[in-house]
Structure 1
Amino acid sequence: MAATAALALVAAIVVIAGWDSLPDPLPKHFNGRDEPDAWMPKTYRNAIGFAVLVPIILTIVSAVTIGITQQSTKTTTGSYSQSSAVDIERSRAHSAAILPALSFWFFALTAICTAFALTGIFLSGPRLSDAGFGYRCSGDPVLPGSG
């Protein structure tokens, strides 16, 4: 949880540091072709909120999932199938082995989604190809003035 909180803080710092390069208005939704199709005013609240919202939501989802997984290994009384002591210990050992990996993958998912959110915010303005930068069909770069 501390790592995802740090990730949210880094996302906020990136938005503040790159404020001048953010488009005005900011995109708030993207279609299937990765093009913005809804916009919001360029304010610190909107930009930081958008960048921090993804890590916060994924942190909550991962905390709930990990909590449910931990709780399910601790509470075996009252379940409809009675497990033996060996089964209970095996289940606890399995959960203890898998929870660190589960935590890592949730953090990785959060980091990837946050990176995509930040990329979407920063790259949603005029595209490089609109400014004269781009690629020809052959893959050779096209620079402004080189036609």
Structure 2
Amino acid sequence: MSARTWHLGIPAAVAVCLVYLWVNFHLVPDPMPVHFGPRGEPDGWATKSFGSAVALVALGPGIVALTGAASAGLTHAVAQDAGERQQMLSREIMPPLAAWLFWIATVNAVGVTGSLLGHHGPLSSLLMVGSLVLVTVVFARQMVQVHRRVDAAYPPSEKDRRGRWGFYYDRDNPEVLVSLENGMNTTLNLARPAAWAILAGLLVVPALLIVLVSVAG
């Protein structure tokens, strides 16, 4: 399917979940669970309201849809001013990227809908996380195939070969942030100590936030 079809599938999937939730709204407890802990058990509650339930179901997919639209627009805009290799890469990336975002949004919408209807707990959380991991693995394999097709049609430069799959290592390059694919991608040069400091910051900050939120909950 085309990237456009996958993108349009996100609001369609949310709509299906909302219809199902509306039909079965009598099963939602009052007060209604609005937050879940690491084990998938509810730890936050609010007065039962279909409007609030709609917001909970649509929030995650809405963020995913906006992120996908922004990524697609940026990639297309950059590729327009790049060479034939970059334009082919942009065309080939869009459908699997859109499909990946669709499945992430759908898993999120289904998971939240099920949680509101009482299907929550460690098993539900495990199924949700497992589904997200599965679709991400499939997406990664598709990206490998995309790069192979593009490389076969337009062999990459030496610089781009050093930047496969988000990793770049070149002691002779003094840059910390390296532009690849004629500006379509930017990655860290892991041969530079500053790059490792940036990477550590990107990983540590979210981890600390998760810990703080868990402790506060």
Q: State how many pairs are aligned.
A: 114
Q: Is the 2:25–2:117 Cα contact (8 Å) retained in structure 1? A: no
**Relative contact order (alpha carbons < 8 A, sep ≥ 6): 1 or 2 greater?**
1
Q: Is the 2:36–2:44 Cα contact (8 Å) retained in structure 1? A: yes
Matched, 1:31 2:24: no
Q: Is the 1:28–1:39 Cα contact (8 Å) retained in structure 2? A: yes
Per-residue CA distance 1:15-58 (angstroms, 9 max, x = gap)? 10111111111111111111111111111111122112222121
SS of match in other structure, 1:33? coil
Per-residue CA distance 1:48-69 (angstroms, 9 max, x = gap)? 2211222212111111112111
How much has 1:92 moved relative to structure 2? 0.5
What is the identity, as a one-letter code, of the residue corresponding to 1:99?
A: M
Alignment-derived partner of residue 93 in structure 2: 98
Alignment-derived partner of residue 58 in structure 2: 52
SS of match in other structure, 2:44? strand
How much has 1:75 moved relative to structure 2? 3.0
TM superposition outliers: structure 1 runs of 4+ over 4 Å: none
SS of match in other structure, 2:54? helix
Given the two structures, how large is their TM-score scaled by the length of structure 2? 0.49
What is the 5 A alignment of 1:65-76?
A: 65-76=71-82
Matched, 1:112 2:118: no
Matches of 2:111 and 2:81, distance apart in 1: 38
How much has 1:94 moved relative to structure 2? 1.3
What is the identity, as a one-letter code, of the residue corresponding to 2:19?
A: I
Matched, 1:17 2:23: yes
Higher mean alpha-carbon deviation, 98-107 vs 116-125, is at: 116-125
Q: Is the 2:57–2:113 Cα contact (8 Å) retained in structure 1? A: yes
Greater helix content: 2
Matches of 1:26 and 1:70, distance apart in 2: 42
Matched, 1:4 2:10: yes
SS of match in other structure, 1:28? strand
How much has 1:106 moved relative to structure 2? 0.7
Q: Identical aligned pairs, as a percentage?
A: 25
Structure 1 unaligned segments of length 5 or more: list them. Answer: 77-87, 126-147
Given the two structures, how large is their TM-score scaled by the length of structure 1? 0.71
Aligned-CA RMSD value:
1.6
